[in-house]
Structure 1
Amino acid sequence: MKLRSKIYLYSSVLFAVLLVIMNLAIYYIFSTLSVDNQLDRADAEAAKIAADMRRAGSEVSAPELLRAYVPIEGMLRLYAGDGSGPAPVTSAAEGELSTLKPVFYNEKHSEIIRVDGRSYAFISIPVIWVDGSVMNVQMTQSLESTMDTLGVLRLVLAGTTVFALLPLLLSSRVLSGLIMRPIVQMTATMREIKQSGKFRRLTLDETSKDELVEMGQTFNEMIALLESNYVKQEKFVSDASHELRTPLTVIESYASLLKRRGLAHPELFTESVEAIHSEAIRMKELTEQLLLLAKHHEHWNLSMKVIDLEELVRDSAKVFRNAYGREVTVKVKGEVKGYSDEAKLRQLLFIFLDNARKYSDDDIYVSLEASGQERLITVVDRGIGIPRDELPKIFDRFYRVDESRGRKQGGAGLGLSLAAEIAAAIGARLSMDSVEGAGTSVSITIAAGSGE
């Protein structure tokens, strides 16, 4: 069953049940009040008749008293505990009441009885008769007028229920349509996206602030995110293919050169092997970076702990100095510890040191200082710098400020993107400032170690 049909069915049934219950409650309350009211009136009338008969009993015979006080639609009886008493007197239309078997009651008694399908109020009141005996003055009075009124009420409520169900069913259909409209639009939009391959948004009534509009807005935001990720994925695949194609082309070219002329020209051997080796290393690094970027942070096996930042920075500078022969000056203000993953923070530092090496020829400076509950590692170079309008894009994958310059230096545009991923994983904050032609400074901010 479709959701629209379920909403329509469930809401219709629920409203119908509530309407029936409400009408039944109205009928029950009204009928109870009406019958109780008639019973109270009959009780008061019977009490008055008993008192009048008691006062006139010494002057008028019992049968005459019964005929004088018999109700218009009912019966009046005078009955003793030993079964004696005059014959009951009934109104003209209620003769069958005289056939009822009398019962003596020691106390006042009232109830609703049914005779031949008709309802009556029965009242029995004990009185001390003129001869000193205890008699029951028993009055039976018809309630058919009240029952007729209740019958009319039943018909009115039943008719009201039937007529109320018609707009109820219509409103339930309209309600289900209103609820399902954005869902139907979403389904149609998703089918269209699937068929055309183009991302589309829902058209929303921005003046409305209900949950359906919020759901539509959330859907549009999700589509925007999917579209953005799709575009990024396409660009990533395209850029990765382009980056891998270059070293493969170089390797293929030199391998073909060796195959054609390597034996006849030994001097080409060294050049070709060096080029193939260099491009193979570059392709390996690129592949490792791509694989690391493809992993989620949870798969990086982080080990967060308090580490000695001064020792980490000085060791990293020493390794970098020995590997590339570049001078790295380290300046530390006091003993500084921080909370991070040592291996990933070292990798992050190496990325920025390597960038400084590639784009500057002067010495590289690294400073370490404490700032409240944060620790700041800053890498400064005196290189070519980055234009200010390019700074917001430098952490995008495969982005280079200068394509030809980046290619010459061997970069794939993944280093800073990887740095951003590492920083996010270890809870570090990155900031970069640069002046074109003057140099660049990069800051890594991490949390202080506990106990400092």
Structure 2
Amino acid sequence: MKLQNRIHLFTTALFFVLLILINMAIYFSFSRILISSELEDTEEEAERIIEEINRGTNDVPLTDFLRAYVPVNGMVQVINEEGGVEAGIAATGKQRLQELPENYFSGEITEVLEYNENQHTFVSTPIIQEDGGVAALQVTEEIASTQENLQTLKFVLIAATIIGMIPLFLSSRLLSNLIIRPITSMTRTMQEIRKSGNFKRIDLSNKSRDELHTMGQSFNDMIELLEENYKKQERFVSNASHELKTPLTVVESYSSLLKRRGLSDPDIFQESVEAINSEAERMKELTEQLLMLAKKDAQWNVNMEKVSLNQLVKTSVQAFVNAYDRNVDIQADQEVNVTTDEQKLKQLLYIFMDNAKKYSEDKITVRITAMDSFGVLEIIDYGIGISKEDLERVFDRFYRVDEARNRKSGGFGLGLSLAKELEQALKAEVFLSSELGSGTKAMIKVPLSH
């Protein structure tokens, strides 16, 4: 069964049961009130008769006396202790009430009797007779009008229930449609996306801010995110393919040259081997950076701790100097402790030092300072620098300032993009300033440790 039909059936059944329960509560409440009222009237009638009997001014026979107080729809009788009727009279047309069994009750009795398919109120009250004996005055009264009223109320409530089911059925159908409409629209949109391959969104013309609208908005946000990631993936794959094409072409060209002339010409052999080795290293570096960027969600599990910025720079620079045999000057006026992930801050430092190495033959300066609530690392080179126009885009993935210069230095336009993502993961701040012909300065601001 469809979800829409289940919701329709369930809500209809639920409201129907609630309507039945409410009507039953109304019926039984009114029934109780009306019957209680009838019993009170009968009790008052019995008390009035007893008051007249107790006055002791009755010179007429008891039967004739009771005739004046007999209820219009009932009977009055006096039962002695032996269960015999001493006196009794029934209203016209109600003589059959005298066929009821005569029972003596020593205490007060108030109840509703069922006789001849009709309900009667019955009150029995003890009285003291003139001779000192005890008897029971019993008043029985038919409550046909009350039964008729209750029967009418029953028919009205049944009719109201049947008539009320019509709008109830329609409203539950409308409710199910209202609940299912965003889901149906979402399903239809997903099917259209699957068939056409184009990202689409649900029309949210309704200005309401209920949960269904929120669900539709969340779906549209998800589709927007998927579309954005899909475009990024296409652009990423396209750029990666473009970057890998050149080194692969170089490797292919030199390998063909080796096949043709490598064994006969040692110079060509040496040149080809060096070129192939260089391009292989470049492809390895590019692949590693591509994998790191692709896995950034898994990589950026940071472990924030207190780190000595001076010690971190010292160990990192020493490893850099040993690897590339470059002159690096460390400048620090004080001890600076920061809260960061040590390994990832090292990685961020290596990216800027590597860029300084590529674009400068002169020494590299690493300066450590404290500024406001940040520890500051400055990596300064005195190389060719970057123009103001290019400086705005250097953090874009695969963007290269100068094609020829990058080919010579081995850059891919990925390092600074990775640095930007490391900056976000570490909650740090990265700034880059440069001037053509004067060099470049990278600044890394990391929160101080408290």
Tell me if TM exceeds 0.5: yes
| Contact 2:428–2:447 under 8 Å retained in 1 | no
Percent identity over the alignment is 47
The residue aligned with 1:339 is: 339
The residue aligned with 1:12 is: 12
3-state SS in 2 of match to 1:317: helix
- Provide the TM-score with structure 2 as the length reference: 0.92
Evaluate the alpha carbon distance shift between residue 106 and residue 26 of structure 1 in structure 2; reply closer, same or farther with a 3 A threshold: same
The residue aligned with 2:112 is: 112
Give the distance between the partners of 1:88 and 1:388, measured in 2 at CA. Answer: 122
TM superposition shift of 1:419: 2.3
The residue aligned with 2:233 is: 233
Evaluate the alpha carbon distance shift between residue 303 and residue 166 of structure 1 in structure 2; reply closer, same or farther with a 3 A threshold: closer
The residue aligned with 2:256 is: 256
**AA partner of residue 93 (structure 2):** A
> Which moves more between the two structures, 277-286 or 2-11?
2-11
* Counterparts of residues 265-276 of structure 1 (less than 5 Å): 265-276=265-276
3-state SS in 2 of match to 1:86: strand
Structure 1 residue 327 corresponds to structure 2 residue 321: no
Structure 1 residue 223 corresponds to structure 2 residue 223: yes
TM superposition shift of 1:94: 2.4
**AA partner of residue 444 (structure 1):** I
Give the distance between the partners of 2:9 and 2:376, measured in 1 at CA. Answer: 64
Give the distance between the partners of 2:319 and 2:94, measured in 1 at CA. Answer: 121
Evaluate the alpha carbon distance shift between residue 215 and residue 105 of structure 1 in structure 2; reply closer, same or farther with a 3 A threshold: same
The residue aligned with 1:316 is: 316
| Contact 2:292–2:299 under 8 Å retained in 1 | no
Q: Deviations over 1:274-303 (max 9, x none)?
A: 100100111111122222223355557866
Evaluate the alpha carbon distance shift between residue 143 and residue 307 of structure 1 in structure 2; reply closer, same or farther with a 3 A threshold: same
Count residues in correspondence: 449
> CA RMSD for the aligned pairs?
2.3
Evaluate the alpha carbon distance shift between residue 102 and residue 393 of structure 1 in structure 2; reply closer, same or farther with a 3 A threshold: farther
Q: Deviations over 1:391-413 (max 9, x none)?
A: 56433332334444433421122
| Contact 2:305–2:341 under 8 Å retained in 1 | yes
- Provide the TM-score with structure 1 as the length reference: 0.92
Give the distance between the partners of 1:390 and 1:112, measured in 2 at CA. Answer: 102
> Which moves more between the two structures, 331-340 or 112-121?
331-340
The residue aligned with 2:195 is: 195
Give the distance between the partners of 2:269 and 2:245, measured in 1 at CA. Answer: 23
Give the distance between the partners of 1:388 and 1:183, measured in 2 at CA. Answer: 51
**AA partner of residue 226 (structure 1):** L
> Which moves more between the two structures, 130-139 or 287-296?
287-296
3-state SS in 1 of match to 2:132: coil
The residue aligned with 1:171 is: 171
The residue aligned with 2:243 is: 243
| Contact 1:430–1:442 under 8 Å retained in 2 | no
3-state SS in 2 of match to 1:88: strand
Evaluate the alpha carbon distance shift between residue 372 and residue 6 of structure 1 in structure 2; reply closer, same or farther with a 3 A threshold: farther
Give the distance between the partners of 2:413 and 2:298, measured in 1 at CA. Answer: 24
Evaluate the alpha carbon distance shift between residue 244 and residue 51 of structure 1 in structure 2; reply closer, same or farther with a 3 A threshold: same
TM superposition shift of 1:232: 0.7
| Contact 1:106–1:126 under 8 Å retained in 2 | yes
TM superposition shift of 1:181: 1.4
Gaps of 5+ in 2: none
Gaps of 5+ in 1: none
TM superposition shift of 1:155: 0.6
3-state SS in 2 of match to 1:432: strand
TM superposition shift of 1:388: 4.9
Evaluate the alpha carbon distance shift between residue 308 and residue 50 of structure 1 in structure 2; reply closer, same or farther with a 3 A threshold: same
TM superposition shift of 1:140: 0.4
